[in-house]
Amino acid sequence: MLLLFSLTAAAIYLVVKYYRANRRPFVEKAEKIPGPPTLPLIGNALEFGTSTKQFFDYLLWLTRTHGPIARVWVGPVLAVLLADPRYIEAVLGSSRIIDKSILYKFGEPWLGQGMLTNTGSVWRRHRKIIVPAFHIKILDKFVNTFNANSKILLERLERHAGGPGFDIYPYMNFITLDIICESAMGVKINAQLDNSSDYVNAVQILGDAMFLRAFMPWLHLDSTFALSSLGRLQKKCLKVLHGMTKRVIRSRKAQILNNNETEPRQTDSDSTGVKQRYAFLDLMIQAMKDGATLTDQELQEEVDTIMLAGHDTTTSALSFSCWCLAEHPDVQERVISEIRDIFGDSTRDATFRDLQEMKYLEQVIKETLRIFPSVPMFGRVVTEDLPMGEYILPAGTNIGFNPYMLHRNPEYFPDPEKFDPDRFLPENCQGRHPYCYIPFSAGPRNCLGMKFAMSEMKAVLSAILRRYKILPASPPHKLDLTVVLVLKSLTGVVLRLQPRIPDAATRCANEH
C-alpha cells in the first residue's frame, strides 16, 4: 500500500510539474480568447450535440455569440474558429502555416498522404508535379466529358419535366461522380445509369464516415474506431475504392511507361467520334516519365484525393446553384439571355470557349458559393505561437475557418442574405479584402481544381437551362442546412422543371 501510494503521488507530482512547465502557458494564452465556459477534461465536447446538424449549428452560434475569433476545447485539444478576413489572411496567406488540422487525419485511411492531407516538402513536391495537370490548356480537353455526361443527366431529368417537385441533389451527386472518375482515372463507372454499384456506394459512405468520426471524440482513437460499426464499414469501402484505383494505375502505368506512349491517353470517343479527353492519372504518369518521382502508392493517394475533392464539393455547389436560380427567376432569365447570345438557335454542344464567355453564369455560381459555400468549415494547425490581433494562438492550436459566417459579413457584402450575382462584377470586387471570400480556400494551399470545377459547373448548368426552366417547389420547400464534409440540406434540394418551348427557328432546325 505504501509503495502504491508513493507511485501515485509521484505520478501526480510529475503531471502537475509537466502542466506547470508546459501546459499552463498554453492554457493561459488560450483562455484569453473569447469562448464559452468549459468543463474539466472534456472541454466543450458535450455541447456539440449528437448529429451533424447540431454540430454545424453550434459552430455558427459560436461565431455569432463570441465574435470572429472564438475558442472551444475538444477534450485537451484547443480549436479556434476564425471568421474575420484579417485573421484568416494571417494564416492562409502564410507560406509557413500549411499543416492541416487534426480532423484531417481521419481522411488518411482513404487519402493517405495526398495533397489534401500531406504537408512540408512532400506537399510542395507533389503540388509542383500536379499543378500542370490543371493548366487551362489541359482543361479544355475535359469539355467533351462534361457534355457527354450532361446529356445523360438531361435524359434522366426528363421524367420530372412538368411534374411535381423533386430532390435534385442525387442527380448532381451521380453526374459529378461520373465526371470526376472519367477525368481523374479515365474510366467510366456510369453512376448515373447504375447508382447501386459497390464503387458508387463506397464513395458516398466514406465521405460521410470521415466527418462523422471527426465530431465523435470517442471514435478518435484508431483502436476504438476499428471496433466500431462505422470503422468496419469504412474498412470494407476502402477495399473497394483502393482496389479499383490500384488496378487502373497498374494498367495505365504499364501502357505509358513500358509501351513508350508519348502522349497521355485519350478516353473512348463520344457519339461525335471526337477523342479529346484526358485523365489526370495519365498526366501524372507522363510527368513521371519526364523525371518526376511518384511511387504507385503516391499516385493512388493523389487520384483518391482528386476523387474526393472533385465530387461532393461540386455536387453541393451545383445543387444550391439550381436552388438559387429557381428562387430568383430574374437572375435565371439573365443567364438564359447570356446563353442565347452564345448559342443562338443552335443545339450544338458547348465548347471551352463558350464556357469562358459565360460571365454572368460564373457570377451566379460565385454568389451561390458565397451564401452556400461547399466547404463551410476547414482547418489548419499552428506549429508556433501566432499573434492574432490582441490574442496569441499558442503552438498546437487547431484553427477552423468559417466561410459560412465570413461570407455573410455586411462590411464586405451589404445585405448579406440577399442573392445578388452583381456583387461579383469586376468593378464591385475592386478594393474588397482578398480573404473575405474563400470558397476555394486561399493562399499557398488554395484549391488546384477551382478552374476545372467552375468549367464543369458552367457546362452542367447551361445544359440544364437550355432545355428546362427551373422553378421553385410547390408548396414552397425549406432547406435545412448541415455539414457532412460539405454543405448539404437534410430536407434535400427540392425544385421543379418545366420544358422550355423552343422558338420557331429552333423547331425548324430540329425538324430537319
Is residue 237 classed as helix, strand or coil in its secondary structure? Answer: helix
Residue pair 225/231 in contact by the 8 Å Cβ criterion: yes
Q: Show the cell assigned to 110.
A: 482513404
Q: Exposed (0-12), middle (13-18) or buried (19+): which is 67, by Cβ within 10 Å?
A: middle
Q: Show the cell assigned to 150.
A: 450532361
Conformational region of residue 199, where left means phi above 0, alpha means psi within -120 to 50, and beta covers everything else: alpha
- Number of neighbouring beta carbons within 10 Å of residue 287: 18
* CA-based nearest residue to 243, from 110, 115, 376: 110
Task: Look up residue 14 and give its amino acid.
Answer: L
What is the Cα–Cα distance from 177 to 256, expressed in whole angstroms? Answer: 25
CA 71 from centre of chain: 24
CA 314 from centre of chain: 7
In sequence order, what are the residues at sequence separation of 6 or more whose Cβ sits closer than 8 angstroms to the Cβ of residue 502? 510
Residue pair 178/192 in contact by the 8 Å Cβ criterion: yes
User: C-alpha angle with apex 366: 360 to 369, nearest 5 degrees?
Assistant: 145
* CA-based nearest residue to 282, from 247, 248, 240, 244: 248
CA 198 from centre of chain: 22
Strands (E), 261-403: 378-381, 386-388, 391-393, 398-401
End-to-end CA distance of the chain: 99
The reply, when asked if residue 447 is annotated as ligand binding, is yes
User: C-alpha angle with apex 92: 87 to 94, nearest 5 degrees?
Assistant: 100
* CA-based nearest residue to 293, from 114, 448, 447, 122: 122
CA 191 from centre of chain: 19
* CA-based nearest residue to 351, from 509, 464, 459: 459
What is the Cα–Cα distance from 424 to 371, expressed in whole angstroms? Answer: 13
Residue pair 6/14 in contact by the 8 Å Cβ criterion: no
Binding annotation: 447
Binding annotation for heme: 447
